[in-house]
Amino acid sequence: MNAFDGVPVIGKGILPVKEFLAYQLTRRHSVHAITIAGALGSGKSSIAKALADQLNCRYYSTGHAQRDLADRLNLSTLELNRRAESDPTIDTQIDRIFAEQADSLDKTIVDSRMAWFFLKLSFDIYLDVDPTIAVDRVMADKRDVEKYSSKAQALSDLRSRKNSEIKRFYNTYGVNIIDLSNYDMVLDTSELSIDSACKLIHSAFRFSEIGYKAPHCWISPKRLIPTQSIRNLSTDTVARTEKLIRSKGFPIATSVQCCNLEDNYFIISGAENVLASIRSGINAIPIEIIEWDDVNKIKNYTLYDKIVDNVTKSQLYDWEAAGQFEYFTYPKII
């Protein structure tokens, strides 16, 4: 089953009117552009280009900004890249081109890690991906295959590049690019085709255009790590939810709360819904990200200790058997 069978599209009857009217009004201004940032290997450029084609919009990327700056400095793109190796201001100048062109980027899909920061009237998307899948994509890319002798080397390099970018943008602009609250939508592309990702982005964007908020965070249920034994779940709830998903499409109001730690999403509540989604073949489900401090206050325990104490490989094996699937990777903390 495609995760987008249950995507709320106005006028097609997928989302009940009562449920639609319950969404909180969040936007009162026009959206001029869609920005796409995200993790390395998440498919940013491929999805941005496809979305631009589908929406008949202009596509503008960091590569375009590099060429614009090279023209200003009377350099070739290669010469600009070489200068950037010794001149850190080049990257900053490229970033600021987006701010300068804010008014000219109307009806544009912008492929850039910092465009969301500079373009104020934009619908901002962050694409996430499981690190092991990111490695497979990078290794399959003919432009990068010669860089890595093994998957372990590629994974290490991607993590180093990620940490470097986080540090650079924080030091330059005082923002954390992996803080998911910066974005209007977070979409995990681990199991999504380009077309499927575009469909969900388009649907969420249509919500924003009429002033309503679609679910903020869509993650593959196979990336959601349980913090309780499969034996503690309500089998009746799992069965009812699975039946509902299979018969009517994914219920958009389903509540799954998670916290994020080191590329993993740990389930705080809604575990039955996660298992039912996995069994039904759903490849992305809406979740609510709960901040660590908020969870600790509500539950009155140290959440990290709970995860370390309760998440074991044996427990994850039981979940895999019950859902007839395999996790992309196991958390490093176990």
Host domain of residue 189: 3-209
Give yes or no for residue 8 having a pLDDT over 60: no
Residues 167 and 225 occupy one common structural domain: no
pLDDT recorded at residue 239: 92
Contact present, 206 and 14 (Cβ < 8 Å): no
Of 192, 234, 251, 229, the closest CA to residue 6 belongs to 251
> CATH number for the domain including 202?
3.40.50.300
Better pLDDT: 53 or 12: 53
Q: Which of 184, 209, 234 is the last residue of a domain?
A: 209
Residues 164 and 45 occupy one common structural domain: yes
pLDDT recorded at residue 332: 76
Residues 195 and 81 occupy one common structural domain: yes
Give yes or no for residue 303 having a pLDDT over 70: no
Residues 116 and 153 occupy one common structural domain: yes
- Identity of the highest mean pLDDT range in 15-19, 120-124, 187-191, 313-317: 187-191
19 located within any domain: yes
The string of pLDDT tens digits covering residues 154-166 is 888 888 888 888 8
Better pLDDT: 23 or 81: 81
Q: How far is CA 102 from the centre of its chain?
A: 24
Give yes or no for residue 300 having a pLDDT over 70: no
Q: Which of 179, 209, 239 is the last residue of a domain?
A: 209
Q: What is the mean pLDDT of residues 271-292?
A: 89
Residues 234 and 163 occupy one common structural domain: no
CA distances from 237 to 85, 258, 272, 288 (A): 56, 19, 6, 20
334 located within any domain: no
177 located within any domain: yes
Residues 55 and 170 occupy one common structural domain: yes
Mean pLDDT of all residues in the chain?
Answer: 81
Non-local CB neighbours of 214 within 8 Å, separated by 6+ positions:
8, 23, 185, 203, 204, 207, 208
Give yes or no for residue 312 having a pLDDT over 50: yes
pLDDT recorded at residue 250: 62
> CATH number for the domain including 241?
3.90.1530.10
The string of pLDDT tens digits covering residues 202-238 is 888 888 777 777 778 999 999 999 988 999 999 999 9
What tokens does 219 get?
A: 């993650």
203 located within any domain: yes
Look-up: residue for tokens 């859902």? 323
pLDDT recorded at residue 254: 61
330 located within any domain: no
- Total domains, the chain: 2
- Range in 9-23, 267-281, 319-333 the model is least confident about: 9-23
181 located within any domain: yes
Contact present, 116 and 124 (Cβ < 8 Å): yes
Residues 142 and 199 occupy one common structural domain: yes
Give yes or no for residue 64 having a pLDDT over 50: yes
Residues 110 and 72 occupy one common structural domain: yes
pLDDT recorded at residue 218: 94
Residues 88 and 156 occupy one common structural domain: yes
pLDDT recorded at residue 18: 37
Confidence of residue 88 (pLDDT cuts 50, 70, 90): confident
pLDDT recorded at residue 192: 95
Residues 198 and 279 occupy one common structural domain: no
- The percentage of the chain sitting over the pLDDT mark of 70, rounded to a whole number, equals 81
Residues 141 and 69 occupy one common structural domain: yes
State whether the Cα torsion 177-178-182-186 is positive or negative.
Answer: positive
Query: Which residues, in sequence order, are bridge partners of residue 36?
Result: 111, 125
214 located within any domain: no
The string of pLDDT tens digits covering residues 238-281 is 999 899 888 876 655 567 999 887 778 999 889 999 999 999 99
Cα–Cα distance, 61 to 77 (Å, whole number): 14
Give yes or no for residue 311 having a pLDDT over 60: yes
The string of pLDDT tens digits covering residues 96-123 is 887 777 667 778 899 998 889 988 788 9
Residues 139 and 279 occupy one common structural domain: no
pLDDT recorded at residue 77: 77
Which amino acid, 214? A
263 located within any domain: yes
Q: Which of 209, 240, 256 is the last residue of a domain?
A: 209
- Identity of the highest mean pLDDT range in 70-84, 87-101, 191-205: 191-205
